[in-house]
Amino acid sequence: MDVVLRSDLRSPVSFVHHINAQVSYSLSRLDGGASDVDFINGALDFNNPNAFNGPNGLDRTSQFSAGVVMDLIGGIRANFITHFYTALPQTLTFQSQSDPEEIFQIDTVGDGQTGVAPVPGSNVGAFGRSISAGDLNNFLQSYSSTFGNQLTPAGQALVSAGLFSQTQLQELCAITPSLTPMGNCGSEFPILQLQQAPAGEVGNGNYFTFDLRLGWAIKPIRGWERFRVEPQVAFYNLFNHKNYNGPDALLSGVLDGAAGSVNGTTKADIAPNEMGLGSGVFSIGAPRSLEFGVKVSF
Output phi, psi for 19, to 5 deg: -140, 130
What's the rounded Cα separation, in Å, for the pair 106 and 177?
7
Predicted local confidence at residue 40, as pLDDT? 55
Predicted local confidence at residue 57, as pLDDT? 84
Q: Bridge-partner residues for 84, per DSSP?
A: 64, 208
Pairing of strands 16-27, 2-13: antiparallel
pLDDT, mean of each 10-residue run, the chain (298 residues): 95 90 96 71 81 90 96 92 96 94 96 93 95 96 97 97 96 96 94 95 95 90 81 94 90 95 93 76 81 91
The H or E element containing residue 6 is strand 2-13
3-class DSSP state of 21: strand
Q: Bridge-partner residues for 26, per DSSP?
A: 2, 63
Nearby residues of 100 by Cβ (< 8 Å), 6 or more positions away:
none
Predicted local confidence at residue 37, as pLDDT? 62
Predicted local confidence at residue 247, as pLDDT? 85
Predicted local confidence at residue 7, as pLDDT? 95
Predicted local confidence at residue 181, as pLDDT? 96
